[in-house]
């Protein structure tokens, strides 16, 4: 029996080139109707029969998506029964409404059945690969086309970046991947997924994350298209690789640490379980596939796919493994090839060796390591420390934040993920109601102008008295805490922590304008005098470079020339994209510098 509710039957992922081709073949009249048609089809009843999903366009017309491999890989796999088919708007509309499939190189068999990593942007060549020379003409042309598609999306803004703008990005991404530019192609697909989430008001959408994706996309494409493009290892990092390489890792004795839910910018979801080797190296076991918050919330209960290990990710986080014939990627992800053998073993508590050594690394060294790693989802971004809860903190736009004392610094603790489908937010509220509670935690660094962490897992501090901490280890994205688990939690919420509030760092004024330009397009920063107050505040704070970049962004958005008849000429998208990229890149680098300075504050000094 099939369920016709659209929310219960997901559309199969559609290859980027299929969506792009269907959109390009539409007539100008039908292109104007594409966004409305995609919205309408997303709400229509669906049924599934085997590998085929059917959508009732109306009482007499059915649309079919055939995905025998789990992905719609060709245009003829989308069939419509209307009179205008195959030149109708319905085929392109359903492709625009479906998730974007992550391309797989022809003939490439993945090392593990698990899908891509939490942030699947490749970062470099496989060990032993020859370092490439300068980009060839095809790669320069592909990078230029992808730059222009990204610049068009930036100029239009989220509301204006509909199905046609997204199709241009997907088409350019497909071309880039064919020329070997895998990293920019992956970033373009992540941008499309971010735009779709924003336009659909997805609870998991974060404007700051989409801004970071677009910034990185434009940065990589700009570096590749320039005449003086990098060469050697720098070029290899810009181009990326088609798939993550795995090399033999021998025999490993692993100890579970925690499970981290994944809701990636690429439209993938699942879980990463972090484990520790006896030599102190961190490894990751992933189960990530196309999906949303529901898959991320359920993934901890999935069976670990590694050799003969018969345990779930949640069980592994509290236990261990003995692995022979292991294969390991450069970023520490364990492969599940045919030659890998694994059996369950005892784990180790956080206060016992070898796990306890993670908390013995000086906190400044951990912060430096996290800031130096370009991948925010890597093992390098994990922070191991002890905290004492101070209470909740009121923050505009971030209601679920608590303050904690960490090595003499007042640190703000945010949920590991703010999506309401995960347990992070509810657990953090309960922890905030227990001032004085001591916690041993695993967290991720948040680059900010004040010390800030995202909490992933927590447990009791060694030597703490009964009632001073939680009764057991908890993965805060999965395990739902109760008051009985926190003896120190009061019956009523604790009052807000008494933090000395300093004036907000004026750098946020630049961040706000950069994000507003992406959200609303060129018009957000083009109004006369709209940025003058912000520029003055930046200059008075000594951030003259930020003020100049904001001035350049405003001018690039506002300057429009006219022809001899007084008509406005087309806007200079190139100039606007370059000005936006300069402001966004400066803001990112400055934020990292302020973050390092905040964590280096004198011990015991109050930080707000």
Give residue 467's pLDDT. 59
Give residue 448's pLDDT. 82
Give residue 488's pLDDT. 57
Sign of CA dihedral 294, 418, 115, 43: positive
The maximal CA–CA distance of the chain, rounded, in angstroms, is 82
Q: In terms of pLDDT, which residue wins out, 9 or 40?
A: 40
Nearest-5° Cα angle at 268, 482 to 116: 115
- Taking a C-beta distance cutoff of 8 angstroms, is the pair 317, 258 a contact? yes
Mean pLDDT of 45-60: 92
Give residue 6's pLDDT. 52
Alpha-carbon distance 16 to 362, whole Å? 45
Give residue 487's pLDDT. 66
Nearest-5° Cα angle at 98, 97 to 99: 125
Tell whether the model's pLDDT for residue 109 goes beyond 80.
Answer: no
Q: Does the N-terminal peptide bond of residue 195 adopt cis geometry, omega within 30 degrees of 0?
A: no
Tens-place pLDDT, residues 239-248: 888 776 788 9
Tens-place pLDDT, residues 178-202: 999 999 999 999 999 999 989 988 7
Give residue 130's pLDDT. 52
pTM (predicted TM-score)? 0.80
Tell whether the model's pLDDT for residue 253 goes beyond 50.
Answer: yes
Residue 425: pLDDT band by 50, 70, 90 thresholds? very high
Mean pLDDT of 223-233: 82
Alpha-carbon distance 222 to 544, whole Å? 25
Give residue 305's pLDDT. 86
Least confident of 165-174, 228-237, 311-320, 371-380: 228-237
Residue 273: pLDDT band by 50, 70, 90 thresholds? very high
Tell whether the model's pLDDT for residue 352 goes beyond 90.
Answer: yes
User: To the nearest whole number, what is the mean pLDDT of the chain?
Assistant: 85
Residue 122: pLDDT band by 50, 70, 90 thresholds? very low
Residue 495: pLDDT band by 50, 70, 90 thresholds? low
The fraction of the chain above a pLDDT of 70, given in percent, is 87
Residue 524: pLDDT band by 50, 70, 90 thresholds? confident
The CA radius of gyration of the chain, in Å to the nearest whole number, is 25
The fraction of the chain above a pLDDT of 90, given in percent, is 55
Nearest-5° Cα angle at 66, 64 to 70: 135
Tens-place pLDDT, residues 531-573: 888 999 999 988 999 999 999 999 999 887 777 777 777 778 8
Alpha-carbon distance 373 to 378, whole Å? 8
Least confident of 69-78, 245-254, 257-266, 583-592: 257-266
Tens-place pLDDT, residues 143-163: 999 999 999 999 999 999 999
């Amino acid at each position: 029996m099939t369920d016709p509710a659209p929310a219960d039957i997901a559309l199969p992922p559609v290859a980027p080139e299929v969506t792009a081709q269907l959109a390009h073949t539409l007539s100008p009249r039908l292109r104007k109707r594409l966004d409305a048609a995609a919205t309408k089809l997303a709400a229509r009843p669906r049924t599934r029969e085997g590998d085929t999903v059917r959508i009732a366009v109306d009482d007499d017309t059915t649309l079919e998506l055939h995905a025998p491999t789990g992905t719609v890989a060709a245009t003829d796999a989308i069939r419509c029964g209307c009179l205008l088919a195959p030149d109708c708007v319905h085929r392109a509309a359903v492709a625009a409404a479906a998730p974007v499939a992550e391309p797989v190189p022809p003939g490439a068999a993945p090392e593990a059945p698990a899908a891509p990593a939490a942030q699947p942007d490749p970062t470099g060549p496989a060990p032993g690969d020859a370092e490439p020379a300068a980009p060839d003409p095809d790669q320069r042309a592909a990078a230029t086309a992808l730059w222009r598609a990204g610049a068009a999306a930036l100029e239009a803004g989220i509301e204006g970046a509909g199905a046609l703008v997204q199709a241009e990005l997907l088409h350019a991404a497909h071309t880039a991947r064919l020329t070997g530019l895998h990293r920019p192609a992956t970033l373009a697909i992540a941008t499309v997924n971010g735009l779709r989430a924003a336009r659909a008001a997805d609870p998991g959408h974060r404007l700051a994350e989409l801004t970071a994706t677009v910034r990185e996309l434009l940065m990589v494409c700009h570096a590749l298209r320039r005449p003086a493009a990098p060469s050697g290892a720098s070029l290899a990092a810009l181009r990326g690789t088609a798939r993550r390489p795995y090399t033999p890792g021998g025999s490993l004795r692993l100890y579970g640490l925690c499970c981290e839910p994944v809701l990636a910018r690429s439209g993938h979801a699942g879980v990463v379980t972090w484990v520790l080797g006896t030599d102190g190296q961190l490894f990751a076991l992933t189960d990530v596939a196309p999906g949303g918050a529901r898959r991320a919330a359920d993934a901890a209960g999935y069976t670990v796919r590694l050799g003969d290990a018969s345990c779930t990710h949640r069980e592994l986080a509290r236990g261990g493994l003995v692995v022979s014939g292991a294969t390991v990627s450069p970023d520490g992800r364990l492969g599940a090839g045919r030659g890998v053998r694994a059996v369950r073993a005892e784990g180790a508590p956080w206060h016992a060796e070898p796990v306890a050594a993670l908390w013995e690394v000086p906190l400044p060294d951990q912060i430096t390591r996290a800031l130096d790693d370009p991948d925010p989802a890597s093992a390098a971004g994990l922070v191991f420390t002890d905290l004492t809860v101070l209470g909740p903190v009121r923050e505009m736009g971030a209601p679920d934040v608590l303050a904690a004392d960490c090595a003499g610094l007042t640190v703000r603790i945010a949920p590991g993920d703010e999506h309401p489908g995960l347990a992070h937010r509810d657990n953090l509220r309960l922890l905030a109601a227990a001032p004085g509670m001591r916690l041993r935690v695993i967290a991720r660094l948040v680059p900010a102008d004040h010390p800030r962490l995202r909490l992933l897992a927590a447990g009791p501090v060694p030597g703490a008295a009964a009632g001073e901490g939680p009764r057991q280890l908890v993965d805060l994205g999965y395990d739902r805490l109760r008051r009985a688990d926190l003896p120190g939690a009061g019956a009523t919420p604790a009052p807000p922590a008494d933090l000395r509030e300093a004036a907000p760092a004026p750098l946020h004024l630049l961040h706000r304008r950069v994000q507003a330009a992406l959200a609303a397009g060129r018009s957000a920063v083009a109004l006369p005098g709209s940025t003058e107050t912000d520029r003055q505040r930046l200059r008075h704070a000594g951030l003259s470079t930020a003020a100049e970049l904001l001035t350049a962004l405003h001018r690039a958005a506002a300057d429009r020339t006219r022809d001899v008849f007084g008509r406005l000429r087309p806007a200079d998208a190139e100039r606007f994209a370059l000005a936006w990229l300069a402001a966004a890149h400066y803001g990112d680098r400055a934020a990292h510098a302020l973050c390092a300075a905040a964590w280096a504050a004198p011990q015991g000094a109050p930080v707000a």
